[in-house]
């Protein structure tokens, strides 16, 4: 049971931890107060338990595909929130403190949603052992190992971002958030295909020989950029479109903000 | 605002994507059933027609939850104890597609054979 | 990175956790693979053993109590020769040489199918998969749990070690915090760690530069004052001569401008003298000579010396209290008394009262001067010691001439003696009361009589 626990917990923790550390690092760089983070964690944890308890009812909804639909909705919600968060980060970077309330709120909801999504699976997995005669020590040890690795990666990643020069940190954050956002949409389409709400197609390629989805590298890439070994053409289009949207939005914001700053600097110089 | 302009682009893309989709029909899919009992899949090998989308109903007869997962099929779904889950699969090219129960991967193993 | 300590603890602990846990996982996987091979070999051995067993083809023999093991032996005609009680009568798995995982009897099994070419028998031996993992899990747990339990201990140790490592930083911060505003002595260098050496060195260099520039400023004022004395003396002489020469002309009255000129010269001479005093009494430079003396006696002498000023304005000056013996610098205390009396004389209106009191209060000697002048507003108490500060600012009564340095000099001398100065309302109801509390024996505080901080 040890390895199973490690894999399940590690996968879920890693997915949430990477988004958390990126947003936390940005919050640090922009001198935001940390209150939003604690609120998000608490809300996400409470949400996970509620989701886990109600999963049977959720699954039954919509002809038995309620789970897929709700998860897809959560992923798309995170994508939309990232679409708001990333440009606001750029705005705050270039022209000082603006829209801080909206930024904090968006980050709170995004982190809470991510924690809810990943936390509920952990909760369901661990709650299964209520019935089990198997010794807890294996499960618990595995869970601790998985959580330890996940949080350690998150913490080191956070310090890596915080330790960078501000400009590069912003660039890396924007690139990572863009790819992660694409990953969210990709997962959502995956779930909608599974629910038969979107048509299934023959995979465009199979890169599982290069990087298997189940491997540690695969899991990392899945967590970071939503890696998929056998995507369909539809998924590739959707992924590209969502990444392009985000990238375009970021570039426009940056252009706009630079212009504002230049205008302001010039007017100040006079 | 740049923000609104780009959200509009997203909406446009979404509408365009939906318009391009062929209408999805839920009815008329071949139905297959699998049971989970004692952290085992019954049957552990399931033959389905190739190049057809099929509806797979997984019954979890155990009191514990299980996650039906397959990297090859790109499927992942939690099934609570005593519940059933519907998963749409395919169309698949001929071949074998292993699946497993993520919560008990040592014993809950099986594969779908597309012919 | 708000705290270096938290950063180091979290980053180090994360690194340790990551490396340890990943290697533990790697070890787990390796031992699992090893165990799997071992179990597989055992299955193969059992299979070849079984295929060598004698068996009759009439009726399949059912073997009870095989533990977890299940097996079947099939004749060339696919007839069951022998099986364990927990194995089904039909073939467990397809008759193909090799290992495979299959389900039967409500469990998942590891099955080995073996074809014995000697007797053309197929043997299938199976063991539950869960059993293997259970065993391997137990072994690995034993090795992983110490790592898990060790982690909090490691965290605690790192916390203390990092705290210890940062001690010199705290010491440096304390040394800087405890420095008084006027203390520009260098920070101690000897036990600074290599990493802090540049900070200490550049701080010391900065302090040295500051000290040098202060010194330059002080020396300049002192030198300037000193240099001004001679021309002022010359002007005084010339004015005196001028007065004499004018008197020869027998003017109806002596010119008003001459009297004004003489007053201005007096004032300038006083100012220059005060600037010199201010420099001389700077605690860092003053070559104090502490000797036993009686403050009461000294006060009497200074009052006698300045009595004419008080008498000239019709003021009553009174010395009260008793003998106040202490060890102090006579010259400095004389200047202090002169300045206090001078202030009292200046600010008390004509026919006012001034009282000088000396007394012993425990290990302190207290000098108090009360007057019936306008006093000082409480909010100005802190500022009157600043150089060139005049009470009331621009509204300072023009009639009262002064340098604005008197109380600064008093403060220098008080600091030199480690004395405290208190300002208060006069005992006369209106007016200022200024109290100087001197330690009876500064030699006790500074054994070698040195006055440096």
Kindly report, residue by residue over C353-364, the tens digit of the pLDDT. Answer: 999 999 998 888
Please report the pLDDT score of residue A133 as a whole number.
66
Mean pLDDT of C219-248: 86
pLDDT confidence bin for A94, thresholds 50/70/90: confident
Contacts of B109 in chain C (CB under 8 A): 101, 108
Residue ending a domain, among C161, C176, C210, is C161
pLDDT confidence bin for A114, thresholds 50/70/90: very high
Top-confidence residue, C289 or C340: C340
Examine the domain organization and report whether C302 and C403 are in the same domain: yes
Q: Has residue C384 been placed in a domain?
A: yes
**3-class DSSP state of C363:** coil
Give the closest of C11, C141, C151 to A156, CB-based.
C11
Query: How many Å is the Cα radius of gyration of chain C?
Result: 51
Please report the pLDDT score of residue A64 as a whole number.
84
- With tokens 């209060």, the residue in question is C361
Examine the domain organization and report whether C373 and C268 are in the same domain: no
pLDDT confidence bin for C57, thresholds 50/70/90: low
Examine the domain organization and report whether C211 and C337 are in the same domain: no
pLDDT confidence bin for A161, thresholds 50/70/90: very high
pLDDT confidence bin for C402, thresholds 50/70/90: low
Please report the pLDDT score of residue C178 as a whole number.
80
The ipTM estimated for the assembled molecules is 0.84
Examine the domain organization and report whether C337 and C416 are in the same domain: yes
Task: Write the burial class of residue B68 (CB in 10 Å: 0-12 exposed, 13-18 middle, 19+ buried).
Answer: buried
Rounded Cα distance, B104 and A13, in Å: 19
Chain B residues with CB within 8 Å of chain C CB: 37-38, 40-42, 44, 106-109
Task: Write the burial class of residue C12 (CB in 10 Å: 0-12 exposed, 13-18 middle, 19+ buried).
Answer: middle
From residue C68, alpha-carbon distances to A148, C37, C65, C92, C168 in Å are 36, 18, 9, 15, 65
CATH number reported for the structural domain that contains residue C218 in this entry: 1.10.287
Look at residue C453 and tell me whether its pLDDT is greater than 60.
Answer: no
Range of the domain at C132: 4-161
Rounded Cα distance, C364 and C241, in Å: 51
Quick check: C101 contacting B, CB < 8 Å?
yes
For residue C52, give how far its alpha carbon lies from the nearest alpha carbon of chain B (Å).
31
For residue C14, give how far its alpha carbon lies from the nearest alpha carbon of chain A (Å).
4
Please report the pLDDT score of residue B79 as a whole number.
92
Q: Has residue C178 been placed in a domain?
A: no
Please report the pLDDT score of residue B20 as a whole number.
46
Are the beta carbons of A43 and A112 closer than 8 angstroms? yes
**3-class DSSP state of C77:** coil
Q: Which residue of B has its CA nearest to A234?
A: B17
Mean pLDDT of A189-204: 86
What's the half-sphere exposure (Cβ side, CA atoms, 13 Å) at C171? 16
Q: Has residue B72 been placed in a domain?
A: yes
Give the closest of B3, B76, B103 to A87, CB-based.
B3
Q: Has residue B7 been placed in a domain?
A: no
Give the closest of C107, C108, C133 to B109, CB-based.
C108
Examine the domain organization and report whether C21 and C149 are in the same domain: yes
Q: Has residue B32 been placed in a domain?
A: yes
Contacts of A156 in chain C (CB under 8 A): 11, 14-15, 18
Please report the pLDDT score of residue B106 as a whole number.
84
The mean pLDDT value of chain A amounts to 88
Please report the pLDDT score of residue A135 as a whole number.
67
Q: Has residue B8 been placed in a domain?
A: no
Range of the domain at B103: 27-114
Share of chain A above pLDDT 90, in %: 43
Task: Write the burial class of residue A206 (CB in 10 Å: 0-12 exposed, 13-18 middle, 19+ buried).
Answer: exposed
Q: Which residue of A has its CA nearest to B60?
A: A56
Nearest to C369 by CA among C442, C307, C318, C419: C318
**Segment B16-28, tens digit of pLDDT:** 444 444 444 445 7
Range of the domain at A195: 2-269
Please report the pLDDT score of residue C190 as a whole number.
72
Are the beta carbons of C428 and C372 closer than 8 angstroms? yes
Among A200, A213, A243, A250, pick the best mutation site for testing chain B contact (most B Cβ within 10 A).
A200
Residue ending a domain, among C227, C258, C276, is C276
Mean pLDDT of A58-77: 90
pLDDT confidence bin for A200, thresholds 50/70/90: confident
pLDDT confidence bin for C92, thresholds 50/70/90: confident
From residue C14, alpha-carbon distances to A29, A149, C23 in Å are 21, 8, 14
Contacts of B53 in chain A (CB under 8 A): 196, 200
Look at residue A216 and tell me whether its pLDDT is greater than 80.
Answer: no
For residue C151, give how far its alpha carbon lies from the nearest alpha carbon of chain A (Å).
10
Task: Write the burial class of residue A39 (CB in 10 Å: 0-12 exposed, 13-18 middle, 19+ buried).
Answer: middle
From residue A103, alpha-carbon distances to A99, A152, C372 in Å are 6, 26, 67
pLDDT confidence bin for C449, thresholds 50/70/90: very low
**Segment C64-89, tens digit of pLDDT:** 877 888 998 888 878 888 888 888 88
Please report the pLDDT score of residue A41 as a whole number.
94
Across the interface, whether the CB atoms of A200 and B75 are under 8 A apart is answered: no
Top-confidence residue, C451 or B79: B79
Look at residue C188 and tell me whether its pLDDT is greater than 90.
Answer: no
Considering only C32-46, C61-75, C234-248, C349-363, which range has the smallest mean pLDDT? C61-75
Share of chain C above pLDDT 90, in %: 16
CATH number reported for the structural domain that contains residue C46 in this entry: 3.30.450
**Segment C146-187, tens digit of pLDDT:** 888 888 999 999 999 999 888 888 888 888 888 766 677 787
Q: Has residue B101 been placed in a domain?
A: yes
Look at residue B49 and tell me whether its pLDDT is greater than 70.
Answer: yes
Look at residue B3 and tell me whether its pLDDT is greater than 70.
Answer: no
Chain A residues with CB within 8 Å of chain C CB: 1-3, 6, 137-138, 141, 144-145, 148-149, 151-153, 155-156, 159, 162-163
Q: Which residue of C has its CA nearest to A25?
A: C1
Q: Which residue of C has its CA nearest to B110?
A: C102
**Segment C314-364, tens digit of pLDDT:** 898 999 988 889 888 888 889 899 989 988 888 888 888 999 999 998 888
Helix (H) / strand (E) containing C445:
helix C442-445
Which residues are CB-contacts of C310 (< 8 A; sequence separation ≥ 6)? Answer: C316, C317, C345, C354
Task: Give chain B's domain count.
Answer: 1
Please report the pLDDT score of residue C62 as a whole number.
82
Task: Give chain C's domain count.
Answer: 3
Rounded Cα distance, A216 and C33, in Å: 18
Share of chain C above pLDDT 70, in %: 92
Q: Residue C177 — left, alpha, or beta (φ > 0 → left; ψ -120 to 50 → alpha)?
A: alpha
CATH number reported for the structural domain that contains residue B62 in this entry: 2.60.40.420
Considering only A261-270, C115-124, C356-365, which range has the smallest mean pLDDT? A261-270
Considering only A260-269, B7-16, C402-411, which range has the smallest mean pLDDT? B7-16
Task: Give chain A's domain count.
Answer: 1
pLDDT confidence bin for B60, thresholds 50/70/90: very high
Under DSSP, the state recorded for B105 is T
CATH number reported for the structural domain that contains residue C378 in this entry: 3.30.565.10
pLDDT confidence bin for C28, thresholds 50/70/90: confident
Q: Has residue C333 been placed in a domain?
A: yes
**3-class DSSP state of C106:** coil
Q: What secondary structure, in 3-state letters, does A185-245 show?
A: HHHHHHHHHHCCCCCCCCECCCCCCCCCCCCHHHHHHHHHHCCCCCCEHHHHHHHHHHHHH
Q: Has residue C184 been placed in a domain?
A: no
């Amino acid at each position: 049971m040890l390895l199973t626990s490690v894999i399940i917990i590690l996968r879920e923790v890693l997915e949430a931890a990477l988004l958390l550390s990126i947003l936390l690092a940005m919050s640090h760089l922009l001198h935001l107060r940390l209150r939003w983070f604690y609120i998000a964690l608490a809300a996400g944890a409470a949400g996970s338990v509620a989701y886990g308890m109600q999963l049977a009812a959720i699954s039954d909804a919509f002809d038995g595909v309620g789970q897929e639909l709700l998860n897809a909705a959560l992923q798309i919600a995170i994508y939309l929130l990232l679409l708001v968060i990333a440009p606001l980060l750029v705005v705050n970077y270039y022209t000082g403190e603006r829209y801080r309330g909206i930024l904090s709120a968006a980050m709170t909801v995004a982190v809470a949603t991510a924690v809810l999504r990943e936390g509920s699976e952990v909760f369901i997995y661990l709650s299964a052992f209520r019935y089990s005669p198997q010794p807890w020590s294996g499960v618990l040890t595995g869970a601790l190992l998985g959580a330890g690795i996940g949080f350690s990666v998150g913490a080191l990643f956070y310090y890596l971002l915080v330790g960078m020069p501000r400009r590069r940190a912003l660039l890396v954050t924007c690139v990572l958030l863009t790819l992660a956002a694409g990953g969210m949409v990709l997962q959502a389409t995956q779930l909608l295909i599974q629910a038969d709400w979107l048509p299934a197609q023959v995979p465009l390629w199979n890169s599982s020989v290069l990087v298997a989805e189940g491997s540690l590298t695969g899991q990392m890439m899945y967590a970071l950029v939503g890696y998929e070994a056998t995507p369909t053409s539809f998924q590739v289009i959707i992924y590209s479109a969502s990444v392009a949207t985000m990238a375009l939005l970021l570039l426009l914001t940056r252009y706009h903000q630079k212009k504002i700053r230049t205008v302001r600097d010039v007017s100040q110089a006079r | 605002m740049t923000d609104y302009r780009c959200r509009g682009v997203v909406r446009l893309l979404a509408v365009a994507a939906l318009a391009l989709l062929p209408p999805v029909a839920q009815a008329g899919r071949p139905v297959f059933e699998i049971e989970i009992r004692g952290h085992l899949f019954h049957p552990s090998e399931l033959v389905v027609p190739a190049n057809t989308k099929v509806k797979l109903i997984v019954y979890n007869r155990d009191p514990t939850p299980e996650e039906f997962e397959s990297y090859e099929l790109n499927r992942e779904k939690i099934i609570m104890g005593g519940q059933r889950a519907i998963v749409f699969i395919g169309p698949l090219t001929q071949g074998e597609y292993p699946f497993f129960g993520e919560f008990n991967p040592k014993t809950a193993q099986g594969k779908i054979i597309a012919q | 990175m708000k705290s270096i300590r938290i950063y180091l603890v979290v980053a180090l602990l994360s690194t340790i956790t990551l490396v340890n846990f990943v290697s533990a996982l790697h070890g787990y996987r390796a031992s699992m693979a090893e165990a799997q091979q071992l179990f597989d070999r055992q299955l193969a051995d059992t299979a070849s053993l079984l295929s060598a067993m004698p068996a009759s083809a009439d009726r399949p023999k059912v073997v009870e109590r095989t533990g977890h093991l299940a097996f079947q032996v099939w004749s060339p005609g696919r007839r069951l020769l022998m099986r364990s009680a927990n194995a089904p009568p039909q073939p467990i798995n397809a008759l193909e040489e090799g290992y495979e995982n299959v389900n039967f009897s409500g469990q998942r099994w590891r099955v080995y199918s073996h074809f014995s070419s000697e007797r053309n028998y197929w043997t299938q031996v199976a063991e539950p998969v869960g059993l293997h993992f259970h065993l391997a899990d137990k072994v690995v747990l034993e090795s992983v749990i110490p790592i898990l339990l060790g982690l909090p201990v490691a965290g605690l140790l790192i916390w203390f070690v990092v705290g210890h490592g940062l001690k010199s930083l705290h010491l440096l911060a304390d040394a800087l915090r405890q420095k008084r505003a006027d203390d520009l002595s260098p920070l101690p260098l000897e036990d600074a760690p290599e990493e802090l050496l540049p900070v200490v060195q550049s701080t010391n260099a900065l302090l040295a530069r500051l000290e040098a520039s202060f010194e330059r400023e002080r020396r300049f004022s002192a030198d300037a004052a000193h240099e001004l004395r001679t021309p002022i003396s010359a002007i005084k002489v010339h004015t005196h001569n001028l007065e004499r020469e004018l008197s020869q002309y027998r003017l109806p009255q002596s010119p008003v401008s001459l009297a004004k000129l003489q007053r201005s010269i007096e004032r300038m001479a006083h100012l220059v003298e005060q600037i010199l005093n201010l420099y001389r009494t700077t605690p860092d430079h003053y070559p104090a000579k502490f000797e036993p003396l009686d403050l009461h006696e000294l006060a009497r002498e200074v009052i006698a010396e300045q009595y004419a000023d008080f008498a000239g304005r019709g003021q009553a000056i009174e010395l009260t209290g008793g003998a106040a013996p202490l060890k102090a610098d006579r010259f400095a205390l004389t200047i202090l008394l002169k300045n206090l009396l001078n202030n009292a004389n200046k600010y008390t209106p004509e026919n006012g009262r001034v009282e000088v009191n000396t007394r012993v209060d425990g290990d302190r000697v207290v000098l108090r001067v009360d007057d019936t002048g306008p006093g000082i507003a409480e909010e100005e108490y802190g500022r009157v010691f600043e150089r060139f500060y005049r009470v009331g600012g621009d509204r300072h009564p023009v009639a009262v001439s002064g340098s604005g340095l008197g109380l600064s000099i008093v403060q220098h001398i008080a600091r030199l003696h480690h004395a405290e100065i208190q300002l208060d309302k006069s005992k006369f109801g209106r007016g200022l009361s200024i109290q100087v509390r001197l330690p009876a024996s500064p030699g006790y505080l500074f054994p070698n009589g040195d006055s440096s901080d």
